[in-house]
Structure 1
Amino acid sequence: MTAAASSPRIVSIQVGLPQECGTEGAADEHDTPWRTGFYKLPVAGPVQAKSLGIVGDGVADRVHHGGIDKAVLAYSADHYPVWNRDLRGSGLLATGEMTGGAFGENLSITGLGENDVCIGDLWQAGDVLLEVSQPRQPCWKLSRRWRIADLAAQVIRNGKSGWYVRVVREGTLTAGLELTLVARKHPTWTIARVNDVGYHQKKEIALATELAALPELAAAWREMFEDRVRKHRER
């Protein structure tokens, strides 16, 4: 695990509702109007985790975000020191600092990364049971939030994507809760490896076939791999 000396835990919880951002006629495309639920603020007390997400949170684009498969977004807080160092060093992070919620996540977690979490994993935090469903697919909103044009592309290259979870058992979450691995059904399919097959090993049809057969993988990702396999067979 990313921080083997201690148990994984939730270091902060963030929620936010969709908001209108930008200004009509702005010269910089980063400042033109857009609607987003990307901006999340830390919650000091307990929150309720429901099957469709954390109470008080919302998404602007219900086609690509939200739903049971993507109820809660988790991200490794251990990535942020590296992001801050690298982006500042390259001059891309001109203002602000990346901390909990910087990638629009609900749960900022220490002690876990994409190599430590597998599809179908069941993780317990307090009385809440979470099931890992898919990697987070970085989109243009991440780049726009930080005014870094290729930030989403950087995430695809380095694999620091984060992951989505289903809320299998509803309950209360608070910052500081430890995460306990209850069950691991697919130990070979880490989030890192799924990202690799999804973005970089597109010709590995056997691997795509295997992933398409995982019932715990989010429907959208299973369909993506099924489509890849189908197109290969039609050639």
Structure 2
Amino acid sequence: MTGMFKTRLDAPVLCSREGLVGDKQADRRYHGGPDKAVHLYPADHYARLVAAFPALAGQVGPGTLGENLSVAGVDETQVCLGDVFALGDCRLQITQSRRPCWKIDHRLGVSGASRRVADEGITGWYFRVLDEGVIAPGDDMMLVERPNPDISLARLWAVETAHRPAVDEVRALSRAAGLSAGWAKKLAQRADWLERQADGMNGGSND
């Protein structure tokens, strides 16, 4: 089962702390929950997918990759971890990048799409819902808070996917305001591992 197949809505919908009313996630271990309540995918990325996979021409658009929202004119280089946006009656906070999985290939019917999304960092992102309310097609999404102006989602994804990122940067990201609990734990564990590896290469502690 999968929650990848979305139907475009042309009417207002209630957005709760668990996401849009009526939306479903098949595997709650990896999808959904308060820290991943709403998934946004930048509309400008659809053209990049078609350029990489011409067979997708006319087949990709809002909802194709399982996203709940799609907005033009903004991408991962322009938004930051922890950003808070007003949308309709809601306030939404960016919590993490979306990690693409095999379901993208399955949904699009092409091999390699998920890898392309990951390699190019055109992943989209998740929101938690700070204030519930109604949103509607055409609502403006307005930035109202930016607690981490130096942590764009492009930077977060680059560190997350780097083979040997700087331990100090990983540690700092794990403590950043707004980060999802799952990624905070994972990044903290990775920072611990990197420190142990560095200690081993340096011959351990001198205590």
Q: What TM-score results when the alignment is normalised by the length of structure 2?
A: 0.91
Q: How many positions carry a matched residue from both structures?
A: 197
Deviation at 1:200, TM superposition (A): 2.3
- Within the candidate set 71, 81, 84, 1:122 is matched to 84
1:82 equivalenced with 2:48 (yes/no): yes
Separation (CA, whole Å) in 1 of partners of 2:148 and 2:56: 41
Deviation at 1:81, TM superposition (A): 1.8
1:136 equivalenced with 2:98 (yes/no): yes
Deviation at 1:145, TM superposition (A): 1.0
Structure 1 partner of 2:11: 45
Deviation at 1:227, TM superposition (A): 1.2
Separation (CA, whole Å) in 2 of partners of 1:232 and 1:167: 33
- Within the candidate set 120, 145, 148, 1:158 is matched to 120
For 1:75, the aligned partner's letter is Y
Separation (CA, whole Å) in 1 of partners of 2:93 and 2:56: 36
Separation (CA, whole Å) in 2 of partners of 1:80 and 1:37: 19
Structure 2 partner of 1:111: 73
- Within the candidate set 129, 133, 137, 1:175 is matched to 137
Aligned residue for 2:188, secondary structure, equals helix
- Provide, for residues 174-220 of structure 1, a one-character-per-residue CA deviation record: whole Å limited to 9, x for no partner: 11011111010001111111000000253321110110111410111
Alignment of 1:1-235 (within 5 A): 35-88=1-54, 93=55, 97-200=59-162, 202-235=164-197
Aligned residue for 2:176, secondary structure, equals coil
Q: Which range moved further: 124-133 or 201-210? A: 201-210
Identity of aligned residues (%): 35
Query: Structure 1's 94 and 55: CA in aligned 2 closer, same or farther, altered over 3 A?
Result: closer
- Which structure carries more helix by proportion? 2
Deviation at 1:64, TM superposition (A): 0.4
Deviation at 1:113, TM superposition (A): 0.5
Separation (CA, whole Å) in 2 of partners of 1:202 and 1:131: 28
Aligned residue for 1:231, secondary structure, equals helix
Structure 1 partner of 2:204: none
For 1:217, the aligned partner's letter is L
For 2:18, the aligned partner's letter is L
Separation (CA, whole Å) in 2 of partners of 1:77 and 1:139: 19
- Provide, for residues 77-110 of structure 1, a one-character-per-residue CA deviation record: whole Å limited to 9, x for no partner: 111122212210xxxx367511111111000111
